[in-house]
Amino acid sequence: MKRSIRILAICTLCFIYSNLMAQTPSYPIVDSHCHIKTHLTDDIFMTMEEYFAENKSINIKYLFGISFVQRQGNLEEMKVRNDSLFSMARRDSRFIPVCSVHPNDGDAAIEELRRIKDFGGKIIKLHPITQNFPILSNEVFNVARVAGELGLIILIDGYGFVIPNYVEHLLKLAMSNPRTKFIIAHMGGTDFYKLGGLNLVQTLNPGLLSNVWYDLSATVKIYADSPYKSQLEWVIRNIGIDRVLFGTDNPVTSLSEALNAFYKLDFNETEKENILYKNAVKLLRL
Q: Which residues bind Zn ion (CB under 5 A)?
A: 249
CB of 70 to Zn ion, least distance (A): 13
CB of 35 to Zn ion, least distance (A): 6
Nearer to Zn ion, 249 or 273 (CB): 249
DSSP letter assigned to residue 189: G
Nearer to Zn ion, 131 or 273 (CB): 131
Cα–Cα dist 95/83, whole Å: 13
Nearer to Zn ion, 55 or 100 (CB): 100
CB of 63 to Zn ion, least distance (A): 13
CB of 208 to Zn ion, least distance (A): 26
Nearer to Zn ion, 247 or 273 (CB): 247
CB of 130 to Zn ion, least distance (A): 9
Nearer to Zn ion, 98 or 110 (CB): 98
Q: Are 218 and 232 in contact (CB under 8 A)?
A: no
Nearer to Zn ion, 67 or 177 (CB): 67
Longest C-alpha distance within the chain, in Å?
78
Q: What is the dihedral of CA 243, 244, 247, 249, to 10 degrees?
A: 90
Q: Are 195 and 166 in contact (CB under 8 A)?
A: no
Nearer to Zn ion, 110 or 183 (CB): 183
Cα–Cα dist 32/65, whole Å: 8
CB of 209 to Zn ion, least distance (A): 22
Nearer to Zn ion, 105 or 249 (CB): 249
CB of 65 to Zn ion, least distance (A): 11
Phi, psi of 122 (to 5 degrees): -120, -20
Give the residue at shortest CB distance from Zn ion.
249
CB of 252 to Zn ion, least distance (A): 7
Give the C-alpha distances (Å, rounded to integers) separating 222 from 38, 157, 183, 185.
27, 16, 19, 14
Residue 202's H or E segment, with its range, is helix 198-204
Cα–Cα dist 210/207, whole Å: 5
Whether residue 251 has a cis bond before it, omega within 30° of 0: yes
What is the residue-wise DSSP string for 114-179?
A: HHHHHTT--EEEE-TTTTT--SSSHHHHHHHHHHHHHT-EEEE----TTSTTHHHHHHHHHHH-TT
Cα–Cα dist 110/82, whole Å: 14
